[in-house]
């Protein structure tokens, strides 16, 4: 009978440790979800700013930039060949 009580006590200790770990993981999960939302908001803000940069460039400037990029790609291709 003493051995059974000892095993019950050991089981109870392990069960309590598992409960503590579960609570800790729940708290960490909650914190990570909160951090994830904060980072998503920050990312959306950065993406909005990037969109604003391109919307401020006129069509003629975009064409000029495209032409410059094509020239650079052409030069790189010639150098590689």
CB contact set of 57 (below 8 Å; sequence gap of 6+): 65
* Distance from C-alpha of 5 to C-alpha of 23, rounded to nearest angstrom: 27
**Which pLDDT tens digit goes with each residue over 7-57?**
999 999 999 999 999 999 999 999 999 999 999 999 998 888 776 666 777
pTM to 2 decimals? 0.53
CB contact set of 65 (below 8 Å; sequence gap of 6+): 57
């Amino acid at each position: 009978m003493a051995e059974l009580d000892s095993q019950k006590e050991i089981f109870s200790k392990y069960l309590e440790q598992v409960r503590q770990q579960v609570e800790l993981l729940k708290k960490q999960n909650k914190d990570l979800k909160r951090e994830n939302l904060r980072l998503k908001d920050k990312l959306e803000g950065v993406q909005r700013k990037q969109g604003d940069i391109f919307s401020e460039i006129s069509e003629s400037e975009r064409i000029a930039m495209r032409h410059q990029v094509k020239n650079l790609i052409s030069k790189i291709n010639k150098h590689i060949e």
